[in-house]
Amino acid sequence: MTTGLFITFEGIDGAGKSSHIDALARAFAQAGRTALVTREPGGTPLAEKLRELLLHDAMDALTETLLVFAARRDHLAQVIVPALARGEVVLCDRFTDATFAYQGGGRGFDWQVLSQMEQLAQTGLGLEPDLMLNPQLTLWFDLPPELAARRLAAARAPDRFEAQPLEFFTRVAQGYARRAAEAGPRFARIDADRAREHVAAQMLAEVAERGWLPAQGAAA
């Protein structure tokens, strides 16, 4: 049976990561793999309801963090783990690294408490219930906060996170950098301050390097 793959896309708002998920899904489809595209917060009816609360309702950092992990647990149990068990490729727009970046870095929430919540929410699932489930690869679309802010200003009406000041996104970017340093080879940094085709090529090359796509796909 084909082993499932769990790949996450991370980066501050405006980094452009979401626009590349479908391209990677197509690349896997061309290689004969079934790819499931999903997102966090969200991915299930319950988690999507929690997403609306998180994006639009005022709350403190602890409430925000608890809702994020509640949505994640349901997402894992209902969607991600079953897809991995079927041997599919799961491509998720944000996962726990975003919680460390936004709630830990941006909001200043305690890093150790986040680690405890991570362990609780991501353990007891799937074929290896004693192990904490993590992505095999995290594609980190790294972009200077100042440039991300300019991109957001020209886009849609901002939600509660997108409307935060530049200082918030600077802390979020620092949170991502800290998380990348702690995660080691699971993180692959993508230079998002480049033309779209170059960003896509970086992404495909990182996946091909791990043997999950044909090498020629990385050069497309």
- Tokens 């996170």 correspond to 161
CA R_g for the chain:
17
Binding-site annotation, residues: 11-18
Residue 169 CB burial class (10 angstroms; 0-12, 13-18, ≥19): buried
CA geometry: angle 200, 192, 52, nearest 5 deg = 95
Nearest to 211 by CA among 20, 31, 86: 31
Cα torsion 39, 79, 113, 64: sign = positive
Binding residues for ATP: 11-18
